[in-house]
Structure 1
Amino acid sequence: MTFTQNFTAVGGSLAWSAVVAVVPILYFFWALAIKKMKGYMAGLTTLLVSLLLAVFAFKVPTATAVMSATQGAVYGLLPIGWIIVTSVFLYNLTVKTGKFNIIRHSVLSITEDRRIQALLVAFSFGAFLEGAAGFGAPVAISAALLVGLGFNPLYAAGLCLIANTAPVAFGAIGVPITAMEGPTGIPALEISKMVGRQLPFLAVFIPFFLVFIMTGFKKAWEVMPAILVSGISFAVTQYLSSNFLGPELPDVLSALVSLFALAIFMKFWQPKTIYRFATERETTATLSTNESYSGATIVKAWSPFIILTIFISFWGIPAIKSALTGHYEGSNILLKGVNTLGQALTFMPEVPFLHNQVLNGTTGEPIAAVYKLELLGAAGTAILLAAIVTKFILQISWRHWGTTFMETINEIKFPLITICCVVGYAYVTNAAGMMTTLGLMLAKTGALFPFFSPVLGWLGVFITGSDTSSNVLFAKLQQVTAESVGMDPVLALAANSSGGVTGKMISPQSIAVAAAAVGLVGRESELLRFAVKYSVMLLLFICILTYLQSNILAWMIP
């Protein structure tokens, strides 16, 4: 039995249908921020609410709605949950072996100032991981590193969520941008150019914003030279690479330039006073520790994350990624061998009662639905391999290694439930057409659409947890609506991606990932309340910028 998406299912009205479609979003905010439910309970009940509305309001067959939830839950486990498990596991190995104390010392040797540490780890290193892997890896790993350095878990998670804003649009080797080329026919390079003329403004601002949140304006002003080096080096590299190289490398290049520029700058400049948290003592700018380690010892301590970076970078290279997922069509003998293994470890079973059973409400075409199980190609597998290599480098017994792995799974079992539920909710709303209903309602804003265009991306990322998913979902709608109101389609597509990055920090998936990484399981509501106001502020900035670029700043459009 097929189901055709109906965007005016409630009373034959788009407006009333949109009101019903927004209910699960409002419920989730209420459950976490006001009712202060534990994350997994908020996720589970939000999924139930979306299922009820899909079945009774949007007339989705019960079996279809339930199976769409299972498709989302499977995606929540692989690749997203798999990344979290392996990331936290790798971090736990460094802690259990005592190597993290050496890592901590090496960061302190650059600076003991907590403000600069946040810029190095949350902003620059996190952006590098976003560019290489995407999904939950940047927040999970960088937040865990900050906690290990002595940051309050809530602040560590919150700062990493906010810092992850600037790089998200070019994450995972540019996939969010390239994903829009197919459905729209607009070259990815053109979209990349436009995004590269929006996000650098955020990239300059985010480092200051992070330090301001931590310390207030006066303390932020004290390290303004370091903030400017971090933000400007990132923004300039992001603009140049996105406009002249394409969407694949802006994150990786910007992060590396920013990281090394700030580290080198700190060799010649230090703040007059070292900022520490209230539980610590503020001192003059001198390194207080008497410990010293050789270069080889420091490199060995960092080796798990160096290996992680190498594996993730390889996993992100398009040709290798194709081979790992069994889709390589080139002539390289080695990659053909990897492709054979990738095919054996890639499973795409059709989702019962869902595959080709939902007809697109706009085109009438059936929508394919499969359980996407790319065991070798998942970024989490790259991290697991890094953990295996780490076992030999750090000389950990298999028994100790396995025990740590099981402890990690037990530690984050509730966040995994949360992620499965919220991704399941996203898939239910997509199958029912509820997300498109909200998009069509925003498209009715006419001349004000350039202002509201980024809100579509924000909503899409909030619900799906992915800028890529949001871009695929709304790219065609943005293009058609922009053409109808006289807005440049390239600007609308860029606005969807740029607006989406501001929703990443409050996406239920991101909240669950961050909470799991820093041990805040059950306190997701605190993290949401911490991040939501900043998400709305940054979204408003992108809305205003997009509106101006559609009018008086139209010269910025490529």
Structure 2
Amino acid sequence: MFQALVDPIAGNLALSALVACVPLITFFIMLIGVKAQAHLAAVTALAVAVIVAIVGWKMPVGYALISATQGAAFGAFPIVFIIVLAVWFYEVTVKAGRSEDLRKFFDMVGGGDIRIQAMLVAFSFGGLLEALAGFGAPIAITATMILALGVKPKRAALAVMLANTAPVAYGAVGTPITTAGNMVASGDAAAASATAQHIAAIVGHQAPLFAFFVPLLLVIILDGKRGARDCWAPAFVVGGSFAITQWWCSNFFAYELTDVIAALVSMAALVLFMKVWKPRGVNDVRADFGLPPTDGSSASELTASRIFMALVPYIVVVAVFGICKLGIPQQLAMTDIKIPWPFISDGSILSAAGKDPGTTYTLNLLSCPGTMILVAGVISAAIYTMFTEDGRYQMSMGAAANSLMNCCYRMRYSAFTIVFVLSLAYVMNFSGQTISIGQFLAGSGPAFAFISPTLGWVGTAVTGSDTSANALFSGLQYSAAQANPALVGVTPDLFLAANTMGGVVGKMISPQSLAIAAVATGEKEADIMKAVLPWSIGFLVALCILVFLQTNILNFMLP
């Protein structure tokens, strides 16, 4: 039997945490310093993590390698499965010739202003996709759509990564928050539900502050000071309506539906606002983006039928996810297959707390978001095949199948990256390296309130999932907050919310997100990383200050 230790290096927690960071440091040095391809950087970091586990944490060689295989399995399914299907889902519209009509529709809504169109796609529509799917689907789909608008690849990558922050906490129908509640409720379903609702309400007093400003930041990224001067009004309409709805839903309605409703409200608010407000300098911006001027004629070509058909895939995906996530989630979950992982699921590996660290793999064939995207894609392809509008658009199920095969081949290296990174995460988790880092940060006394979001930031940066970060650190956050004498009278749920929000701002630098954005835009992961890292760190610092102030000066904000 192997039981993880939090301080295996000379019995020193600080030194152990420093050594545990070596695999992560290796990955980022390989990616940014050496400029290695992402999958090679991930393989190297995985090898280092295995060595650290064996030599530093005294984990048996076989257990270290088996832990890596479980991570690889989880990386392949559901993560890679979801990502590939998300990219293919959009390409169905391209193969059907409908993507141009979709571009013209957003052109019509945005008055021909690329900045407003991109904001609508990346923030509002991306928020809707995050609410329903998550796991990188919004980045993959919206990046491709923004490129179709004429935005340059590097700007498109940065814009979608930044836009994907606001809705992450409530993504996949509130899964990260539900997970946090379950991690501290000790199997009590009622307590887990109550805790999750309280966490959601606290996040609802944090996330909207970021959501309000993100649309303005997007137009600045796309067009600098001119973008801020010309588009501040619609940016605040979108950000404000999203933020207010996010706060209301999370505190007074169903937190699982927070992002769904906020995204739809923000889109509707922009459509109404654009009826009474006209953008300035539209053709100047289009010229800078290498696009011809617009007088609205391209949009006027659109008939109601063409607009509807362009939006069909997204109507279908909302319907499919609505049915699966809100209508029959329990029935689908009943089909999940629990697979005890060979050689380690019999109690052979224990966490530092003496518990199973998660050695059972769940094969969720029907409840997986990737399967839902596949169903939505097949339905969309079938609709396009049946309705061609007098031969204007051509589509066949065979073409859709070939497109899926091409997606699998084109994304092979990104798939390898994700599989290796999840292997890295599992080795670090099962061996105790991740907990050593977390325990060191949690033992910081009064400074814990400021440092707390960093745990979620690190966890999501490594795993690419806010849900996984909450699974890793929620118990640690809760117990550390309860035991900290400097935090007497402060609800421990604040730090579960801080962990969740830390994951929100950490997701943009996760290797999975970088790989997805790279595939969608054609940019290199290292270049995207350099662009998004300052934003991620800046958001993290702002969040740390906010959480610290909410323990004292701003404690009136806590529900």
1:418 matched to 2:408? The reply is: no
What residue in structure 1 maps to residue 509 of structure 2?
506
Which amino acid is 1:238 matched to?
Answer: Q
What residue in structure 1 maps to residue 390 of structure 2?
none
1:541 matched to 2:542? The reply is: yes
Offset from partner CA, 1:508-544 (integer Å, 9 cap, x none): 1111122223334xx1111111111100000000001
1:354 matched to 2:355? The reply is: no
Offset from partner CA, 1:442-492 (integer Å, 9 cap, x none): 112211111101111101111111111111211121112212333321211
Offset from partner CA, 1:47-95 (integer Å, 9 cap, x none): 1111111111111111111111111111111111111111111222211
1:278 matched to 2:288? The reply is: yes
What residue in structure 2 maps to residue 337 of structure 1?
none
Structural mapping, 1:120-135, within 5 Å: 120-135=120-135
Residue ranges of structure 1 left out of the alignment (5+ in a row): 327-342
8 Å contact 2:382–2:397 — kept in the other structure?
no
Q: Kindly state the Cα deviation for residue 290 of structure 1 after the two structures are TM-superposed.
A: 7.3
Q: Aligned to 1:59, what secondary structure does the other structure show?
A: coil
Offset from partner CA, 1:206-264 (integer Å, 9 cap, x none): 11111122222342122111011011101101111111124211111111111110122
Which amino acid is 1:394 matched to?
Answer: Y
Cα distance, 1:215–1:45 mapped onto 2, change above 3 Å: same
Give me the CA root mean square deviation: 1.7
What residue in structure 1 maps to residue 56 of structure 2?
57
Structural mapping, 1:396-415, within 5 Å: 396-415=395-414
What residue in structure 2 maps to residue 517 of structure 1?
520
Cα distance, 1:412–1:475 mapped onto 2, change above 3 Å: same
Cα distance, 1:383–1:366 mapped onto 2, change above 3 Å: closer
8 Å contact 1:54–1:428 — kept in the other structure?
yes
8 Å contact 2:241–2:266 — kept in the other structure?
yes
Q: Kindly state the Cα deviation for residue 114 of structure 1 after the two structures are TM-superposed.
A: 1.8
Q: Kindly state the Cα deviation for residue 153 of structure 1 after the two structures are TM-superposed.
A: 2.2
Q: Kindly state the Cα deviation for residue 277 of structure 1 after the two structures are TM-superposed.
A: 6.6
Counterpart Cα distance in 2 of 1:272 and 1:85 = 38
Counterpart Cα distance in 1 of 2:287 and 2:228 = 14
1:265 matched to 2:266? The reply is: no
Which amino acid is 1:276 matched to?
Answer: R
Offset from partner CA, 1:94-134 (integer Å, 9 cap, x none): 11221111111111111221211122110001111111111
1:102 matched to 2:92? The reply is: no
What residue in structure 2 maps to residue 490 of structure 1?
493
Structural mapping, 1:130-141, within 5 Å: 130-141=130-141
Offset from partner CA, 1:280-329 (integer Å, 9 cap, x none): 2696x842637602111221122122212211222222x51221121xxx
Work out the percentage of aligned pairs sharing the same amino acid. 40
Counterpart Cα distance in 1 of 2:99 and 2:252 = 39
Counterpart Cα distance in 1 of 2:124 and 2:397 = 33
Q: Aligned to 2:255, what secondary structure does the other structure show?
A: coil
8 Å contact 2:155–2:221 — kept in the other structure?
no
1:393 matched to 2:383? The reply is: yes
Which amino acid is 1:551 matched to?
Answer: N
Greater CA drift, 348-357 or 40-49: 348-357
Offset from partner CA, 1:188-217 (integer Å, 9 cap, x none): 111111111111110111111111222223
What residue in structure 1 maps to residue 309 of structure 2?
300
Greater CA drift, 539-548 or 484-493: 484-493
TM-score, normalised by the number of residues in structure 2: 0.92
1:435 matched to 2:434? The reply is: yes
Counterpart Cα distance in 2 of 1:309 and 1:374 = 20
Cα distance, 1:458–1:368 mapped onto 2, change above 3 Å: closer
1:204 matched to 2:212? The reply is: yes
Structural mapping, 1:14-53, within 5 Å: 14-53=13-52
Q: Kindly state the Cα deviation for residue 368 of structure 1 after the two structures are TM-superposed.
A: 4.2
Which amino acid is 1:121 matched to?
Answer: V
Counterpart Cα distance in 1 of 2:322 and 2:55 = 46
What residue in structure 2 maps to residue 553 of structure 1?
554
Q: Kindly state the Cα deviation for residue 366 of structure 1 after the two structures are TM-superposed.
A: 3.2
Greater CA drift, 391-400 or 103-112: 391-400
Which amino acid is 2:158 matched to?
Answer: G
Structural mapping, 1:84-99, within 5 Å: 84-99=83-98
Structural mapping, 1:303-322, within 5 Å: 303-317=312-326, 320-322=328-330
8 Å contact 1:133–1:313 — kept in the other structure?
no
Greater CA drift, 413-422 or 298-307: 298-307
Counterpart Cα distance in 2 of 1:282 and 1:33 = 37
Residue ranges of structure 2 left out of the alignment (5+ in a row): 186-193, 386-394
Offset from partner CA, 1:411-452 (integer Å, 9 cap, x none): 111111111011111111110111111111111221111110
Counterpart Cα distance in 1 of 2:271 and 2:200 = 28
What residue in structure 2 maps to residue 374 of structure 1?
364
Q: Aligned to 1:348, what secondary structure does the other structure show?
A: strand
Counterpart Cα distance in 2 of 1:290 and 1:252 = 27
Offset from partner CA, 1:108-163 (integer Å, 9 cap, x none): 11122121112211000111111111111111111111112222222222211111
What residue in structure 2 maps to residue 80 of structure 1?
79
8 Å contact 2:109–2:274 — kept in the other structure?
yes
8 Å contact 2:87–2:137 — kept in the other structure?
no
